[in-house]
Structure 1
């Protein structure tokens, strides 16, 4: 790794031992070493050197610097083929340091007859097949030694017996990860004309809190739920007819709020979020990708702003329409399916770099994609304050 100028100066003047002593005695210089490691997993290895290194690596200010310098990376993505009831993993990362992790990311350690319901921070929520009699489990493909953890639903929801990311019925059941912690959110939604009722459970895999019930009136009669997403403990329900229904399920007073998507946006869009930047909407506009940001103004009114729009070269060159299938959990990558060639394209929204994967999907409209990212933040060993010395 490249050393800071201060270390190079010390190494040349007094030798390697003097330089190392200077680093050990100066926290500012010491932080420059793990800052250059490149991958979150390496921070955990550095933290094992000593308790002092652990404090440096686990410091929140340092972690923000590290994430800014080394944004989360995509290891690969899972493809749910609805027509063939198959789930496959496609490797993306070419980094040698991540090769071992990528090799473990498939379904080699669990039952193959599963469908993915959600993916976040290196974990998968799985639904066993067939839908009518299967159960729900959680699996960490990067840590297969943890095994497959069964999830028990509240007894009052067992009769629904169905979990699907595309359920067009008037009542549906969704299982989602709660942002970047270990929590799970279970949502039961019922639509009846203009009335929407949501029953939300927050808990772990085997223990659920008390049900949170919220009801509200919609602007127009709606028929089905397209998808759901959780951002900062707010539940966003994407409905047909270009409406988004939201619920802050940790607020003291529950209130369902409804947001209409921009007039120029059709039904083919996905929601995403960035760090403290509100809600983002990504949709297809002919051969373009358009990115909108949603904020609330001082009067509590919805405000959409078009923040980016650019041509998807692969679609334009092939003269093919495409569908927006998925957005990575950090909002940095979007996955598209071309309608005619049935290929998958990933687009880095920061650099606009496109990568084409010649995997042939079956039934584009019913194909779902779940990116697998490097885990953030890393999990560090627990500091034992009773024996608080540096080594």
Structure 2
């Protein structure tokens, strides 16, 4: 196999020498921009030093990503217990078959303890491992199926005794929850944030006003460091809240009437009123990251109608309105196995970045709504046990970026730069992770 791979690489170099005589640098760059996938780009970089220099150039990679954004490979789906399962998003081009095969065969937890995914972004999965064998309290871990060497276990920022230091047996415990949020940096790497949220009713208070405290820790070299902390008063706090991070701001749905925003730069809270007509009691809504650092999306589902709102500056505007009745009717016509879609229980399970897609739970099915193409497809059918428990958690898994290119081989007598031991991996399209 190694001899075959080496022969293939050598033949490619000979062909590349001939092609180089008619391809100028500008034309070559335009061709490389259109190879479509990072796996194909890595293969192209293995042709010769000239191709490598163009393919690995930072300015080129920025253009490549803009033209070929990372693909959605599939979803991690988890029920009440056990290790999450990976469900590929089909159909997929053959260029990504190796990557999907690797992710599908990767186990997030070898000992099959209870795994809860908290964040899944840019090929990295941040999860919480729970189980009796782990003793008191959870263990945090980061996994990268396409680049396993990046996996690491992380201690929580606060030990269990510290988290319970305010406990008073004469008063009910303070409601607490935490979120793991991530932010993609300019170089493509991820920064992780642990957001501990506490709610405490003031002594003697007669209304529904609650003291809300957010303590934000940032992961640096495997250690959590306090990044920001702030307290404010909120009315009508809600359970089951969620948060998204856009640049240096965290948007949280911790009340029934507005969105609470924490600016990490100033450690100051502010609020954003919900769009007119959006009410927690009568509609289901979620937030979504926006590419613009000053904006955030709100996606609302009400009576089989989906509306996308964008908050920019100080106001809301409607970006799109989708009639789910019509889309469900079309799905029932195209798929004879789909029944009772129009009368099924409906809720949102997950919203993609930039409001690009929505995962809808309809009865026993989870369906994928592509917001750009306006198409609805069935992604997953829940088991009887999952149906009895009411819901499942779903996290999309995107192709990792940027790709890892092979090391140059220091041999001035050869135009090919790929190390022999790297050739087979490159031809298989496996070496796609970021070191």
TM-score (norm 1): 0.79
Q: Give SS of 1:362's match.
A: helix
Against the structure 1 CA distance between its residues 99 and 87, is the aligned structure 2 distance closer, same or farther, given a 3 Å change threshold? Answer: same
Against the structure 1 CA distance between its residues 281 and 380, is the aligned structure 2 distance closer, same or farther, given a 3 Å change threshold? Answer: farther
**For residue 201 of structure 1, what is the aligned residue in structure 2?**
217
C-alpha distance in structure 2 between counterparts of 1:117 and 1:217, whole Å: 26
Q: Specify the structure having the higher radius of gyration (Cα).
A: 2
**For residue 88 of structure 2, what is the aligned residue in structure 1?**
91
CA contact (8 A) 2:328 2:376 kept: no
CA contact (8 A) 1:234 1:246 kept: yes
CA displacement 1:216-264 (0-9 Å, x = unmatched): 233x231435112222232222214142222232x2x221111122132
* 1:363 CA displacement: 5.4
C-alpha distance in structure 1 between counterparts of 2:396 and 2:257, whole Å: 25
C-alpha distance in structure 1 between counterparts of 2:153 and 2:252, whole Å: 26
CA contact (8 A) 1:178 1:230 kept: yes
Query: Where do residues 144-223 of structure 1 align in structure 2 (5 Å cutoff)?
Result: 144=148, 146=149, 148-155=151-158, 159-160=162-163, 170-179=175-184, 181-192=189-200, 193-204=209-220, 206-218=222-234, 220-223=235-238
CA contact (8 A) 1:273 1:331 kept: yes
CA contact (8 A) 2:122 2:397 kept: yes
Against the structure 1 CA distance between its residues 154 and 86, is the aligned structure 2 distance closer, same or farther, given a 3 Å change threshold? Answer: closer
CA displacement 1:26-66 (0-9 Å, x = unmatched): 32111122212111232233334455434433445533443
Larger RCO: Structure 1 or Structure 2 (Cα < 8 Å, ≥ 6 residues apart)?
A: 2
C-alpha distance in structure 2 between counterparts of 1:383 and 1:304, whole Å: 51
CA contact (8 A) 2:120 2:396 kept: yes
Against the structure 1 CA distance between its residues 44 and 256, is the aligned structure 2 distance closer, same or farther, given a 3 Å change threshold? Answer: farther
- Name stretches of at least 5 consecutive residues in structure 1 with no aligned partner: 1-14, 162-167, 297-301
**For residue 346 of structure 2, what is the aligned residue in structure 1?**
322
More displaced 10-residue stretch of structure 1: 125-134 or 279-288: 125-134
* 1:102 CA displacement: 1.2
C-alpha distance in structure 2 between counterparts of 1:34 and 1:346, whole Å: 31
C-alpha distance in structure 1 between counterparts of 2:160 and 2:406, whole Å: 37
Query: Where do residues 328-347 of structure 1 align in structure 2 (5 Å cutoff)?
Result: 328-329=352-353, 331-338=355-362, 340=363, 342-347=364-369
**For residue 286 of structure 1, what is the aligned residue in structure 2?**
303
**For residue 259 of structure 1, what is the aligned residue in structure 2?**
272
2:138 to 134, 138, 141: 134
**For residue 4 of structure 1, what is the aligned residue in structure 2?**
none
CA displacement 1:105-151 (0-9 Å, x = unmatched): 2443632321211111111111112395331111112223x274101
1:376 to 388, 401, 411: 401
Against the structure 1 CA distance between its residues 135 and 56, is the aligned structure 2 distance closer, same or farther, given a 3 Å change threshold? Answer: same
* 1:330 CA displacement: 5.2
Query: Where do residues 13-92 of structure 1 align in structure 2 (5 Å cutoff)?
Result: 19-23=19-23, 26-50=24-48, 52-82=50-80, 84=81, 87-92=84-89
Residue 110 (1) aligns with residue 126 (2): no
Residue 307 (1) aligns with residue 306 (2): no
2:243 to 228, 245, 253: 228
Counting matched residue pairs gives 355
**For residue 165 of structure 1, what is the aligned residue in structure 2?**
none
Residue 269 (1) aligns with residue 285 (2): yes
RMSD of Structure 2 on Structure 1 (CA): 3.2
TM-score (norm 2): 0.72
CA contact (8 A) 1:225 1:237 kept: no
CA displacement 1:289-325 (0-9 Å, x = unmatched): 21111111xxxxx211111011234545521342111
CA contact (8 A) 2:139 2:156 kept: no
